[in-house]
Structure 1
Amino acid sequence: MALFEPMDVGDRFARSAWPAHVTLASNFLVAESVEQVVEAVHDARVVDRPLAFRIGRLAQFGPQRTVPVRLVDSPHVEDAHQDLAHHLGRLRGFEADEPSHWREGYRAHLTLRPSIAAFEGEIRTASHVAVARLDGETAEIVACIEIGPMDRPEIVCLCGSARFVEEMRAANRALTFAGVIVLAPGEAGELISHEQKTLLDALHLRKIDLADRILVVNPGGYIGESTRTEVAYAHAAGKPVSFTEPV
């Protein structure tokens, strides 16, 4: 979970009284030590980049839809979850308590309580990532790691159909002015040979290798065959993938 204030290892609290946090990964079981779980968190690079997000609309979670939350709008938090899902999922004995809350079913949120208030449009930045062990109705902090700034700008690789050149340029511009290094598909500007297309496709896979995450530009939800190949390649490499429109 992403915290706004640090906590000490060993801190215990009732599961009905969680501190203010954004859930990065839902409950899970593993047959590994706490140290190996923490190593997986570091491998996911969750604490190597700022976790800033925008508080969104109200929603109701829980089996009976009785738990008030604020949804969180942030590609950074979404990417953090996907990275954690990849690395935690490789631990021995990993089993998600609620698989539907992971990967495609993940919805970043801040749980509201009488002592926790948040307002739509508010921008918050997490300071720490914590791991908690659950024991019945009690939670115990077993690790609390400070989030450090990246030593370089984030690198994002754009993927998408060549038919969306203007949308790709708009995404490139928006990310660039947000301080992101953007790796975009090469623009041929004309009909190209099969050999040239093969070269461009291979170069783009190398761009994916260099990127911290992938953003698929998919107006109308469209994803072509080449883009599907790139998304599969990114997933296999453990790169977080997000889309400009739902798929």
Structure 2
Amino acid sequence: MNVAEETLFVVVATPDPLPATIDRSRWPAHVTIGGNFAVLAEGETLLPTIVQVALEDIAAFTVSLGGLDYFGDAGRLPVLLAPHESLSRMHNTLADGLVSAPGFRPAEPAYWRHGYRAHLTLAENVELREGDELHIERVALLSLTGSKALRRCQWMLPATLAARPLVP
């Protein structure tokens, strides 16, 4: 499997849609649902449906940002924990669905399932701190290509569950 073909799922804490291309050194504020993972090329077409299933019965919500922690290589990536039942539920449903995608391989298996900890990555341009609240309204599927993230799909969560159906 070609590791260069990774896809990253993020929950974005802004009412604004993600641009088609993002400079990975300037990630907008986001909470990770499913960290970097790879699938075989034939599995890519399944990803939007797998993500959409993970969004079923999830309405927009507000998360209070928790304490500072460090993730990534050698624990150098600063994050704020973002504990919320909806984030955990989306992650678990996503993880359940991805096992059916051909060639699914998480880059860091320790951060999946029981190791998942919802977090907001503190990129240089993100000015949030512990105790701040984020209103989560959007979910996006992005592919990572070098220093860029390319938006593949983006969904807006309904304000309430009565506002169904969810359409990409």
Residue 112 (structure 2) pairs with residue 102 (structure 1): yes
Q: Which has the larger radius of gyration?
A: 1
The percent identity for this pair of structures is 31
Shift of 1:119: 2.4
Provide the residue aligned with 2:4 in structure 1: none
Give the number of the structure whose residues are more often helix, by fraction.
1
1:127-147 Cα offsets, whole Å, 9 max, x none, are: 210011111222111111111
Output the amino acid matched with 2:36: N
Q: Which runs of 5+ in 1 are unaligned?
A: 153-247
Cα gap change, 1:17/1:47 in structure 2, threshold over 3 Å: closer, same or farther?
farther
Provide the residue aligned with 1:88 in structure 2: 98
Q: Is the 8 A contact 1:15 1:137 kept in 2?
A: yes
Provide the residue aligned with 1:17 in structure 2: 26
Shift of 1:121: 2.1
RMSD over equivalenced CA pairs, Å: 1.9
Shift of 1:33: 5.1
Shift of 1:52: 2.6
Q: Report which structure shows greater RCO (CA 8 Å, sep ≥6).
A: 2
Residue 11 (structure 2) pairs with residue 2 (structure 1): yes
Runs of 4 or more consecutive aligned structure 1 residues displaced over 4 Å after TM superposition: none
Cα gap change, 1:25/1:47 in structure 2, threshold over 3 Å: closer, same or farther?
farther
- Identify the match of residue 30 of structure 1 among 27, 35, 39: 39
Secondary structure of 2:154's counterpart equals strand
Q: Which runs of 5+ in 2 are unaligned?
A: 1-9, 164-168
Shift of 1:49: 2.3
Residue 122 (structure 2) pairs with residue 112 (structure 1): yes
Residues 72-83 of structure 1 aligned to structure 2 (within 5 Å): 72-83=82-93
Output the amino acid matched with 2:33: L
